Amino acid sequence: MSYRVRVKICGVTNIVDAQMVEREGVDAIGFIFWPQSPRVAQAARIGEISRVLSPLTAKIGVFYDAGVSEVEKTVRRSGLTGVQICGKPLGQDRDWRALSRRMRLIRVLSAWEELPDDPPWGFCYDHLFYPGLEELPGVASQRFDWSLLPENTDEKWGRIYVSGGLTAENVGELIKTYQPYAVDVCTAVEGSNYRKDRVAVREFMAAVHEAECEVRTEPDHSEPAGAAGPGEINGNITS
């Protein structure tokens, strides 16, 4: 079975941490633009960080209850290559559809809410599932029941991302059982003052790679939905 899980580390706040997690092999770095978060990012500062990162590293902005115009303004200033939309998006669906044609658009859904028959945005190819119980959107430290996830072979859900309570100790179980397209981690790879910890990042990445190898050596099964789709270059998350 050909399979590789992508890793996004969220809540990066500074250039040192961004370069460190990139060197450790992450596919995407998340910057939070929700003003009430202790990890809140400033667009101009993130623009400086984006310019020194590899073009193969996705720069994802995390927004909560945001409108398209706000998101687009931040994208222009910060050099983002994708956006992650939490809460209730403001504005018309047609405007979000237009944005999805220019960059990766990740819609965040609460795993605790009843899964609808169809995704809320039919034009969105990327869906992130998280507990939905956090005070701080985009940073979920609680694990949810992974059996609530949609089947990863269901094409209508596209690429499935999982966040919430992931650690080096349990991410392998998730990967071997459900084979998501991507995993999203924040608090488990932090030290003090919301700084990312190199040892914790390295341990998390090692656990991901170990689980990937086990999945690849299993008898061939159906390819997960979104294993190859829009926005892929050499297996990397791109715009």
**Residue written as tokens 């992508």?**
6
Structure tokens at 81: 């290559």
How does 169-196 read in b/e, with b if 16+ C-beta sit within 10 Å?
A: eebbebbeebbbbbbbbbbbbbeeebbb
- 99 secondary structure, DSSP code: H
Give residue 235's pLDDT: 40
Region 16-44: what's the mean pLDDT?
A: 95
Give residue 239's pLDDT: 44
Q: CA-to-CA distance for 155 and 230, rounded, in angstroms?
A: 13
Region 87-109: what's the mean pLDDT?
A: 94
Cβ partners under 8 Å of residue 140, min gap 6: 130, 131, 132, 133, 134, 163, 164, 165, 186
**The model's pTM:** 0.89
Q: Which residue has the higher pLDDT, 231 or 169?
A: 169
For 171-184, what is each residue's pLDDT tens digit? Answer: 999 999 999 999 99
Reported confidence tier of residue 135, pLDDT bands at 50, 70, 90: very low
List of domains in the chain:
6-222 (3.20.20.70)
Q: CA-to-CA distance for 218 and 15, rounded, in angstroms?
A: 39
Region 75-94: what's the mean pLDDT?
A: 94
168: nearest Cα among 209, 214, 134: 209
For 208-239, what is each residue's pLDDT tens digit? Answer: 999 999 998 877 655 565 555 555 543 445 54
